[in-house]
Amino acid sequence: MSLQDNIARILISPAEIQSRIETLAAEINAAYTDEDRPLLVCVLKGAFLFLADLTRFLDMRHEIDFMEVSSYGAGTRSSGVVRILLDLERNVEGRHVLIVEDIVDTGRTLSYMIRHLNARNPASIRICTLLSKPSRRQIDVRVDWIGFEVPDEFVVGYGLDYAEEYRNLPYIGVLRPEVYRD
Ligand code: PRP
């Protein structure tokens, strides 16, 4: 039994993902100057593939750093409690920060991160997410770039997991409900 057998359908293909990221990168290139030299903050683990592809389409000067936050544990729904598992290495004071997320669901993780980073006095904070589930939003966060809006279904692949698996799938797929309902 392969991971693919547990996917009900493919929502976004690898080609669609790459094409959208190229467009997002062009917009992000245009939004910053070389002097801004933004710090891209990849939110681990889900955004690792998105950051890897996005950074290769950017031609402005920039740096990358990583934060690991978790709100889900091993379940399928956000616990509402956000924990920092790994903090930034770089100092963000006076820096232009671009948060790179895989998905905004309730908005709790982002809202927590924005508060956390704002306390360190960055020059600006902008947000880029590959996916957004607007129907699940509980906290209204202003997101500057959204790759795709997705329906309220359990999506995995291209960095997104179920119980730490499926992150390696090259597409965004819908997980069969029977996989997480047993
Ligand atoms: C997921 C995702 C976002 C967050 C979104 O992370 O990567 O960071 O949940 O949900 P929210 O808008 O309801 O807060 P998760 O906690 O599953 O960690 P992971 O990225 O390591 O899988």
Q: What is the pLDDT of residues 74-115, one digit of tens each?
A: 555 666 688 899 999 989 999 999 999 999 999 999 999 999
Burial of 126 (0-12, 13-18, 19+ CB in 10 A): middle
Does residue 146 surpass a pLDDT of 90?
Answer: yes
pTM for the model stands at 0.94
Instruction: List all residues whose CB is within 6 A of at least one atom of ligand 1.
Output: 43-46, 70-72, 78, 101-109, 161
Domains identified in the chain and CATH numbers: 3-179 (3.40.50.2020)
**Number of the ligand 1 atom closest to the C-alpha atom of 70:** 16
What pLDDT score does 34 carry?
87
Among protein residues, the one with the nearest Cα to ligand 1's atom 7 is: 46
The Å distance, Cα 43 to ligand 1 centre, comes to 8
Q: Among 132, 125, 135, 108, which residue's Cα sits nearest to residue 50?
A: 132
- As a whole number of angstroms, the distance between CA 28 and CA 166 comes to 28
Q: What are residue 56's phi and psi, to 5 degrees?
A: -75, -15
